[in-house]
Amino acid sequence: MITVTAKAFHEKLHIETEEIILNGPPSNLTGNIFIRNKDDETLFIRELPLSPSAKGNNLPKTAASFKFTTSLKAGEEKMHRISHQLPSNTPPGTYDSIINVGGKQKKVKMIVQPNIQVDIHPLTIHFAGVIPGESYYTQLSFTNSGNMPFKIPEIKHVTTLDEDYLCKATSLAMREKGGEGFTAMMDELTKNIHNQMADWAIVKLDESGKILQPGESIQLHFTLTLPKNVDAQKDYFGTVRLWNKMLSYNIKSH
């Protein structure tokens, strides 16, 4: 078996198509390539040489090779699914490169799609001491890991849930109305949930409205204010959606 790399033996291959098209977000550009082994030995293809195009729109920084993980028996040809990874902050657009293989240059067109992605740490925060109307404060690390500017959203209110409210409400409903059938039990369950559920908690991000450029990181100043009808003897939890990330909080009474 011969290993094909960007520096050796790629002349033993032949690519049928004149242009290879990859499409997707920067971290997962995918496409197909029809490739043939011209040699009389099995080839394991690890990488092929990649270079900037003399024409067209080049990437800010072109990788020196295109990664593969496939093998071809002598004379074998097949359609191979390929993928390529660019820096996550590569701007949307169409970029041109060249693969040198079999003594010929083949065009590579990379169509980078807009990709909004954020990273938050930590995703779970904890506070101690349940006090009606009290405000709790912490800081979060926030990164725009996509390739588009991202505006920190404004969050107005979130749920405040007693950790045992659903089990308790169901248990009481079963005890009180379980013998009267499903409808009566569900009516009682709904009433119990309504009576025991706390009002909305208020969440404030001091940085709401700030626009982060791709790759930019900041510290978010996060404030959570409990509603006044929480029970100081109970534990509470809730979730906060920040774009596609779910931030959860827990507040223990003791």
Domain boundary among 79, 112, 145: 112
Distance of CA 222 to the CA centre of its chain: 22
What is the reported pLDDT for 49? 84
Whole-angstrom distance, CA of residue 71 vs CA of residue 120: 40
Domain count, the chain: 2
pLDDT of residue 163: 67
Q: Which of 112, 131, 148 is the last residue of a domain?
A: 112
- Note whether 225 and 206 are same-domain residues: yes
Is the domain of 73 the same as that of 100? Answer: yes
Domain co-membership, 16 together with 122:
no
Residue 156 inside a domain? The answer is yes
Residues 96 and 137 in one domain: no
Residue 190 belongs to some domain of the structure: no
* SS3 readout for the chain: CEEECCCCCHHHEEECCCEEEEEECCCCEEEEEEEEECCCCCEEEEEEEEEECCCCCCCCCCCCEEEEEEEECCCCEEEEEEEECCCCCCCCEEEEEEEEECCEEEEEEEEECCCCCEEEECCEEEEECCCCCCEEEEEEEEEECCCCCEECCCCCEECCEECCHHHHHHHHHHHHHHHHCHHHHHHHHHHHHHHHCCCCEEEEECCCCCEECCCCEEEEEEEEECCCCCCCCCCEEEEEEECCEEEEEEEECC
| Shared domain check, 234 and 108 | no
pLDDT at site 94: 92
- Report the 10 Å Cβ neighbour count for 109: 17
Tell me, yes or no, if the pTM score tops 0.85: no
In terms of domains, do 25 and 104 share one? Answer: yes
Judge if 53 and 127 occupy the same domain: no
Instruction: Judge if 67 and 155 occupy the same domain.
Output: no
> Of 97, 112, 127, which marks where a domain is finished?
112
CATH number at 125 reads 2.60.40.10
Q: Is 105 within 8 Å of 98 (Cβ atoms)?
A: yes
CATH number at residue 37: 2.60.40
In a domain, 40, yes or no: yes
Q: For residue 231, tell me if it sits in a domain.
A: yes
**Residue ranges, the chain, pLDDT below 70:** 163, 165-167, 169
- Asked whether residue 185 is domain-assigned, the answer is no
| Alpha carbons 50 and 177: distance in angstroms, whole number | 71
Q: Give yes or no: residues 20 and 122 share one domain.
A: no
Quick one: 209 and 248 in the same domain? yes
Per-residue pLDDT reduced to its tens digit, 189-204: 788 777 777 889 999 9
Q: Are residues 218 and 123 in the same domain?
A: yes
- pLDDT tens for residues 49-69? 888 887 778 777 777 778 888
Residues 103, 122, single domain; the answer is: no
The full length of the chain comes to: 254
Whether residue 32 contacts residue 121, with contact meaning beta carbons closer than 8 Å, is answered with no
- The domain of 222 spans 118-160+198-252
> Is residue 38 a part of any domain in this protein?
yes
Q: Which residue has the tokens 């949307």?
A: 92
138, two tokens: 């912490």
The answer to whether residue 186 sits within a structural domain is no
Least Cα distance to 48 among 14, 24, 23 occurs for: 14
